[in-house]
């Protein structure tokens, strides 16, 4: 497979090819969390349609353990999910929260 012609997302996922795993027909990325000395299976999230990413971020942020800032939100996302621009999406939610009275 020639990677030079592929989009950036394909290149990112290809770089993790040795960490990908299929369980029950669902694609996961193995994440080795060194400071916790454990491995986490992150569900690979499709970026299209974007409403799935928005739904995940909204649910995690609005959960009883939500509203605690970018680092904790990012940690919560990473413990369960993976997509190529996860950090940028969480940062965007943080910017949105600055304008929302409840946060």
Which stretches in the chain have pLDDT values below 50?
Answer: none
* pLDDT at residue 51, as a whole number: 81
Q: Whose CA is closest to 16, among 5, 6, 30, 2? A: 30
Q: Quote the DSSP letter at residue 18.
A: G
Whole-number Å distance between alpha carbons of 26 and 88:
24
List the domains of the chain with CATH numbers: 8-97 (1.10.340.70)
pTM, full prediction: 0.71
* pLDDT at residue 7, as a whole number: 75
* pLDDT at residue 67, as a whole number: 58
* pLDDT at residue 8, as a whole number: 76
Whole-number Å distance between alpha carbons of 83 and 101:
29
Task: Give every CB contact of residue 26 below 8 A, 6+ residues apart in sequence.
Answer: 43
* pLDDT at residue 62, as a whole number: 72
* pLDDT at residue 4, as a whole number: 65
């Amino acid at each position: 497979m020639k990677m030079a012609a592929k989009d950036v997302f394909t290149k990112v996922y290809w770089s993790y090819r040795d960490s990908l795993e299929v369980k029950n027909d669902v694609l996961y990325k193995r994440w080795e969390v060194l400071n916790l000395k454990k491995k986490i299976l992150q569900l690979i999230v499709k970026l299209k349609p974007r409403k799935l990413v928005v739904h995940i971020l909204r649910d995690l942020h609005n959960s009883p353990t939500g509203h605690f800032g970018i680092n904790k939100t990012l940690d919560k996302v990473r413990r369960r999910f993976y997509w190529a621009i996860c950090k940028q999406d969480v940062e965007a939610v943080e910017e949105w929260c600055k304008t929302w009275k409840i946060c």
